[in-house]
Structure 1
Amino acid sequence: MATPEMVLPEPERNSFVHGGNELLSYRWPVNGRPRVLLIHGIGMGHWVYESFITALLDGDTPFDVTAVDLPGFGDAPKPQRALSMEHTADLVALSLTEHEAQSPLIVVGHSMGSQVAAELAARHPQLVDALILVATTVNPAERSVHQQAKRMLQDLGTESISVLARGALAYAQAGPRWFIEKLKPTLEHHIERTLPRIDQPTLVIRGSLDRVSPAVWARQITGLVPDAALLELEGHGHEAIIAHGEPAVRGIERWLSQLPPRA
């Protein structure tokens, strides 16, 4: 789904179908550069992250970028039922094996996508070289529909009109019924049980105004992953990489430059 503001070049597009679930992937290849995989949050689609993808492509050292539409979101058709976070990660892994992964990836997950990304790193470590968890859900202290809805509404007050418009379009595209269907496995997933099994270097990113993924939870995430660092983006909320991609990308570049070579 495109919007009038979209300025990204046309990507390579692939479809992967397994067990009645279709995943769409969009790649902007930059030969010889590190590969980044972006996994979106609940209700979103790849096109919402134009600012972040543009920043990844336009820097002095651009990345080779792939973004996905998970089943039922963006342009991917809705399956009969929602997959768990673990099985969603397995679907992404199968798609990567068929279409994308020729070398380990830098995997970026936003919100619900961070849950999928964490499972991908833990369950399929050969595909993931480094992990970036942005605005990670679900805070175990607030694991309920009521609490999550309350925090999302509070967070909306920190976002610009353009970000709210993009989110509204994406949610409308997914539809309320499918959003609710996917919310159940999102809330049931305990990412805190997965984090200690992640061997890859990990960067945890949150906006300083994020009410959905609060500071205490971000610190807990960072402490649970064996090799993790925390980056806070001042003045941003839950949709930080949707609103302004460049601050996050510059922070990711600095973090990557400080990592020792992996054996």
Structure 2
Amino acid sequence: MIVMIHGLALSGRYFTPLARSLAAAGRTVLVPDLPGNVRSRRAGRPAPDVAESLEALLRWQAAAAIGSCVLVANSVGCQVTTALAAEHPRLVERMVLIGPAPDATALSPVRQLLRLLTDVPKEPLSLLAVTAADYLVTGAARFVAGFHHARQDAAGPFLARLRRIKAPTLVLRGSDDRVAPQPWAKEVTAHLPHGRLAEVPSGAHAVHFSRPAATARHILQFLS
């Protein structure tokens, strides 16, 4: 069983190309939407932080009767999956972190925004249409609140959490990813007791969308 966790202010729709590639290889794939994002947002309540998102994910796993699984996450979603792997190791068989973000060495909002803007031209137009629609539904207030929570987590808890993870973990990035640059990906991998790093050529931050077949090959090789 593979469970995919999306990034900030997004739905799981942008995982569809990768999910199809993995399903074609015989894998069962589930893609939940976390509270506070797109149509799963909680009206009148603030965007959840990492701990609250983790609790929501745990409730969903229990309701769906999902035991130990493979977690595949992108960007800020990596913060939630690493929290699950650190706090509840028996629920995580293996983990794949695609473009983990934000970079703890560059937490300035201005630097993060500039990185995101320089990544945009390298993404396909079809992805930009999906993400723009999701951002509009989530709303600016929830995006800003979620970004604040992500920066707080990256400032300390995230790296410390990595050292407690027992599950074998693949850190995967597109070679053109400006949001999660190679030095940061290497640092994340170095903190993991059982981590390895791989790159997909010509992929950007959402490499699972732009290069789903190549991304699936890396994941399937890792799982085998």
Q: TM-score scaled by structure 1?
A: 0.81
Structure 1 position 98 matched with structure 2 position 36? no
Structure 1: distance between partners of 2:46 and 2:112:
22
Q: Which residue of 2 aligns with 1:160?
A: 124
Aligned counterparts, 1:92-131, within 5 A: 92-101=57-66, 103-131=67-95
Name the residue aligned to 2:7: 41
Q: Which residue of 1 aligns with 2:52?
A: 87
Taking structure 2 as the reference length, the TM-score comes to: 0.94
1:89-147 Cα offsets, whole Å, 9 max, x none, are 1221122012231x310001100101111001001111111011010012111112111
Aligned-pair CA distance for 1:196: 0.2
2:165 is aligned to 198
Write 1 or 2 for the structure with the bigger share of strand. 1
- 1:184 equivalent among 113, 124, 148: 148
Pair 1:219 & 2:186 matched = yes
Gaps of 5+ in 2: none
CA contact (8 A) 2:70 2:95 kept: yes
Aligned to 1:252: 219
Identity %: 28
Higher helix share: 2
Aligned length: 220
The whole-number CA distance in structure 1 between the counterparts of 2:108 and 2:146 is 14
Of residues 75-84 and 48-57 in structure 1, the stretch that sits farther from structure 2 once superposed is 75-84
Residue aligned with 1:53, SS: helix
| Greater RCO, 1 or 2 (C-alpha within 8 Å, sep 6+) | 2
Tell me the distance in 1 between the aligned counterparts of 2:65 and 2:208: 23
Task: Name the CA distance, whole Å, in 2 between partners of 1:92 and 1:192.
Answer: 21
Q: Is the 8 A contact 2:41 2:138 kept in 1?
A: no
Could you tell me which amino acid in structure 1 is paired with residue 100 of structure 2?
A: T
Paired with 1:47 and 1:163, the residues of 2 have a C-alpha distance of 10
User: Partner letter of residue 54 of structure 2?
Assistant: A
> Is residue 55 of structure 2 the alignment partner of residue 55 of structure 1?
no
Counterpart of 1:6 in structure 2 is none
Q: In structure 1, what is the Cα distance between the partners aligned to 2:41 and 2:177?
A: 30
Partners of 2:27 and 2:137 in 1: how far apart? 28
CA deviation after TM superposition for structure 1 residue 220, in Å: 0.6
- Contact map agreement 2:34 2:56 (CA 8 A) in 1: no
Considering only aligned residues, what root-mean-square deviation do their CA atoms show, in Å?
1.2
Provide the C-alpha distance between the structure 2 equivalents of 1:200 and 1:58, rounded to a whole number of angstroms.
25
Gaps of 5+ in 1: 1-34, 258-263
Q: Could you tell me how far apart the structure 1 residues matched to 2:29 and 2:2 are?
A: 5
Which shows bigger deviation, 139-148 or 212-221?
139-148
In our comparison, the structure showing a higher alpha carbon Rg is 1
* C-alpha contact (below 8 Å) 1:40/1:46 kept by paired residues: yes
Moved over 3 A (4+): none
SS in structure 1 at match of 2:7: coil
